[in-house]
């Protein structure tokens, strides 16, 4: 009997936090309460006001402005692992309209959203909750819709057909985000002083669009929307609405990223850390929730094709020692089904220092 009740609770949690909110939950269920050391310390704010590194995208494409923009880009990737881009050329109305369609997806009935629920982490469209729901002991206050975006025409028919504009707007944004990614990567390769050959592969690379929803939370100090984690790809390009929540790690501080209208936030992922042989570090980030406002964000994670090997660029290993083992997307997904993927656990497992004699 007791067991049945527990199973029933588990299946409620798997339906996500929007459903909990809709059922009138006023107190944070135990399932979401983090151990004290992992809770956000909302009162501790960084001593100095932090200025987010900013890259003017239009400068990057202008021969006069490019050298300066490349220097800023190199510094941002090396010192912080993140930056925001402005003047990216995507009209602000289309970004706002996509965010609003994303919000409306999570407002659909539970039955409609459940159609896309899947335990298969390889599914081309997947609605789910928490961070890594197969592994999380404590759940996180987040629901998501993950859309595979490359090749676009293969996956498009699987994307939700409701709300009506979502498919069209997400498709258009997917193309724009991919184009931004390729221009940024070309510039990053230039800052690393290496050839452009990987660009051809990146053009055909995986692209995942993760639409996140963080509903208001009854006790936001006891939980998180996402735990500290790094992203697996080369770069993540994040579109967020006006509500604060994202924090990035900078030294010993957690810096809150103030959403700036019409900007996009970019962070270095594990694959770029590996590819640059450690010169550019993937950054730990997490998401805070709040008690009054729902927050939406759209993370576009770009990398190499699914079956490609990710390895330090040979041009960067010549003088330096090679710091990371070969990896690929499939090993990341396998890791995800069997390990906790918060912190930088996966990347740590790829470091040469951790190489066992038989895994070379
Ligand atoms: C992610 C992520 C941050 C945010 O989806 O990997 O870190 O602010 N999102 O939603
Ligand atoms: Ni992330």
Q: Determine the pLDDT at residue 312.
A: 96
Q: Determine the pLDDT at residue 56.
A: 98
**Sign for the pseudo-dihedral over CA of 59, 63, 69, 74:** positive
Kind and range of the H or E element at 185? helix 166-192
How far is residue 269's CA from residue 235's CA, in Å, rounded to a whole number? 5
Fold assignment, 31-359: Jelly Rolls (2.60.120)
How far is residue 36's CA from residue 44's CA, in Å, rounded to a whole number? 15
For ligand 1, say whether the CB of 299 is within 6 Å of any of its atoms.
yes
Give the closest residue (by CA) to ligand 1 atom 8.
Answer: 246
Q: How does DSSP classify residue 40? A: -
Q: Determine the pLDDT at residue 42.
A: 61
How many CB atoms lie under 10 A from the CB of residue 19? 18
Q: Are strands 207-214 and 125-129 parallel, antiparallel or unpaired?
A: unpaired
How far is residue 202's CA from residue 305's CA, in Å, rounded to a whole number? 7
Cα-to-chain-centroid distance, residue 311: 21
For ligand 1, say whether the CB of 212 is within 6 Å of any of its atoms.
yes
Q: Tell whether omega for the bond before 14 is within 30 degrees of 0, i.e. cis.
A: no
Question: Separation of 358 CA from ligand 1 center, angstroms?
Answer: 35
How far is residue 157's CA from residue 174's CA, in Å, rounded to a whole number? 15
Quote the strand ranges of 19-124, DSSP E: 54-56, 82-86
Q: Which ligand is nearest to the CA of 225?
A: 1
Q: Determine the pLDDT at residue 342.
A: 82
What's the Cα-to-Cα distance from 122 to each of 171, 245, 333, rounded to whole Å? 20, 28, 8
Relative to the CA of 301, which ligand 1 atom is closest?
Answer: 6
Q: How does DSSP classify residue 81? A: S
**Sign for the pseudo-dihedral over CA of 274, 275, 281, 282:** negative
How far is residue 259's CA from residue 244's CA, in Å, rounded to a whole number? 6
Q: Which ligand is nearest to the CA of 269?
A: 2
Kind and range of the H or E element at 187? helix 166-192
Residues 135-152 as b or e (16 or more Cβ within 10 Å = b):
ebebbbbbbbbbbbbbeb
Q: Tell whether omega for the bond before 163 is within 30 degrees of 0, i.e. cis.
A: yes
For ligand 1, say whether the CB of 246 is within 6 Å of any of its atoms.
yes
Q: Determine the pLDDT at residue 179.
A: 98
Q: Are 117 and 128 in contact (CB under 8 A)?
A: yes
Stretches where the chain sits below pLDDT 70 are 1-4, 42-48, 319-320, 354-360
Helix (H, G, I), strand (E, B) or coil at 197: coil
Question: Separation of 273 CA from ligand 2 center, angstroms?
Answer: 15
Q: Are 150 and 178 in contact (CB under 8 A)?
A: yes
Q: Are 187 and 70 in contact (CB under 8 A)?
A: yes
Q: Determine the pLDDT at residue 279.
A: 96
Q: Indicate the domain borders of the chain.
A: 31-359
For ligand 1, say whether the CB of 285 is within 6 Å of any of its atoms.
yes
Quote the strand ranges of the chain, DSSP E: 54-56, 82-86, 125-129, 143-148, 207-214, 226-229, 235-240, 246-250, 253-256, 264-268, 285-287, 295-302, 309-310, 327-328
């Amino acid at each position: 009997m007791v067991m049945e009740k527990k199973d029933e609770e588990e299946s409620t949690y798997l339906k996500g936090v929007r459903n909990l909110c809709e059922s009138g939950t006023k107190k944070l269920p135990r399932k979401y309460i983090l151990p004290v050391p992992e809770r956000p310390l909302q009162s501790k704010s960084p001593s100095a006001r932090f200025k987010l590194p900013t890259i003017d995208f239009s400068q990057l494409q202008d021969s006069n402005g490019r050298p300066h923009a490349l220097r800023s880009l190199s510094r941002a990737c090396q010192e912080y692992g993140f930056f925001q881009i402005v003047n990216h050329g995507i009209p602000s109305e289309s970004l706002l309209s996509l965010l609003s369609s994303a919000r409306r997806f999570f407002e659909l009935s539970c039955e409609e959203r459940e159609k896309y629920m899947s335990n298969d982490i390889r599914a081309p469209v997947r609605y789910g909750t928490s961070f890594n729901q197969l592994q999380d002991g404590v759940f996180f206050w987040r629901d998501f819709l993950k859309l595979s975006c490359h090749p676009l025409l293969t996956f498009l028919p699987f994307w939700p057909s409701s709300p009506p504009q979502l498919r069209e707007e997400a498709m258009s944004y997917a193309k724009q985000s991919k184009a931004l990614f390729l221009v940024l990567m070309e510039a990053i390769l230039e800052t690393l002083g290496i050839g452009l050959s990987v660009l051809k592969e990146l053009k055909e690379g995986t692209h995942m669009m993760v639409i996140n929803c963080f509903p208001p939370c009854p006790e936001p100090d006891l939980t998180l929307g996402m735990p500290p984690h790094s992203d697996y790809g080369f770069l993540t390009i994040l579109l967020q609405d006006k509500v604060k929540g994202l924090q990035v790690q900078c030294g010993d501080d957690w810096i809150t990223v103030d959403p700036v209208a019409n900007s996009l936030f970019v962070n270095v992922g594990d694959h770029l850390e590996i590819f640059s042989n450690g010169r550019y570090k993937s950054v730990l980030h997490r998401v805070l929730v709040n008690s009054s406002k729902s927050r939406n964000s759209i993370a576009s994670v770009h990398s190499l094709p699914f079956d490609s090997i990710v390895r330090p660029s040979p041009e960067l290993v010549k003088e330096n020692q090679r710091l990371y083992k070969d990896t690929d997307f499939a090993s990341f997904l396998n890791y995800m089904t069997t390990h906790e993927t918060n912190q930088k656990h996966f990347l740590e497992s790829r470091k040469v220092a951790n190489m066992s004699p038989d895994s070379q």
